[in-house]
Amino acid sequence: MTRLAVYPGSFDPLTRGHLDIIHRAARVFDHVIVTVSNNASKKHVFSVSERLEMLEEAVRGLPNVHVDTFTGLLVDYLKKKKARVLIRGLRVVSDMDYEFQLASFNRRLYKDVETVFLMPDDQYTYLASSMVREIARLGAGADAFVTPYVARKLKLKFGAK
Ligand code: ADP
């Protein structure tokens, strides 16, 4: 049986923290699908296709990782992909409230789903896409927090300073 895991998220933009989780998941599971949520009710800085491009560029060297997008309920997407494992990253205790609520709802909607929480390397504990967006908006370089490709996209989006 192939062990397939799905890692969903906004990835707005992809950070080195997300990438750390992707690498860990790729080591534990046979196949990982990183899927970008296409949720119209959420405001995003980058379009779904821009976020997909960032991910595709970043996982090029990982043969068992593929990139996709989904709309609607995540559990419906999991059923369609015949996936039962959901990956989420846990950074600090404050993540737990939201992540446990999400995991509990997903389990109620699809009883066979198992959420697996992975912990990033310590250096990424306080890294969040929202912080990256904020510093880029204020004109600072985000190179320490994102891939060079994403850093370039941020500069194009917010203007290089
Ligand atoms: P969402 O809107 O679904 O929370 P995010 O892109 O913000 O999308 O996050 C996707 C997942 O990645 C979440 O489980 C989040 O906790 C995790 N994550 C985000 N940043 C990091 C990081 N620096 N280290 C580890 N996990 C992270």
CATH value at residue 45: 3.40.50.620
**Is 109 part of any domain?**
yes
Whole-model pTM above 0.85? yes
Is the minimum distance from the CB of 89 to ligand 1 under 6 angstroms? yes
Is the minimum distance from the CB of 88 to ligand 1 under 6 angstroms? yes
What pLDDT does residue 159 have? 82
| 73 Cα–ligand 1 center, Å | 18
Residue 49: count of CB within 10 angstroms of its CB: 11
Backbone angles phi and psi of 85, in degrees to 5: -115, 130
Owning domain of residue 81: 4-126
**Is 108 part of any domain?**
yes
**Is 91 part of any domain?**
yes
**Is 37 part of any domain?**
yes
What pLDDT does residue 39 have? 82
CB 109 within 8 A of CB 72: no
Backbone angles phi and psi of 103, in degrees to 5: -65, -40
pLDDT < 50 positions in the chain: none
